[in-house]
Amino acid sequence: MDEYLLIESQGPWGGPGADRFVADATRLRRAGHRVAVFLIENGTSAAFTGADEALRELLEAGGQVWVDAFSMTHRAFAPDRLLPGARLVDMDEVAGKLLEPGVRGVWH
């Protein structure tokens, strides 16, 4: 089983590409792969309650949603409004995951 870390830097208002990228993550998860989507920069705006149905579907399928703590703080987003199941991470954790054998990183 492969493991994927999909990195999304665009917000849901940046066009349909972000939702398609997260939908790809959900398809990978439903195919049996371990999947995490890491939201960074403007992508963090998708992680708030009511913001993105595609992320909820990923979580329901057993995927993970990671949110960059620095990007979120830089944009003055409140952590108490995060989508249930999403979690804050820092770059050390992301770098560590990308260095693990068998993890495939994809940036959008």
- Encoded amino acid at 58, one letter: L
The pTM of the full predicted model, rounded to 2 decimals, is 0.91
Angstrom distance (rounded) from CA 2 to CA 65: 17
Residue located via tokens 């108490």:
80
CB 23 within 8 A of CB 108: no
Quick one: pLDDT at residue 61?
Answer: 97
User: pLDDT in tens for each of the 108 residues of the chain?
Assistant: 789 999 999 877 666 677 788 999 999 999 999 999 999 998 998 888 666 688 999 999 999 999 999 999 888 888 888 999 999 999 999 999 999 999 999 998
Quick one: pLDDT at residue 49?
Answer: 63
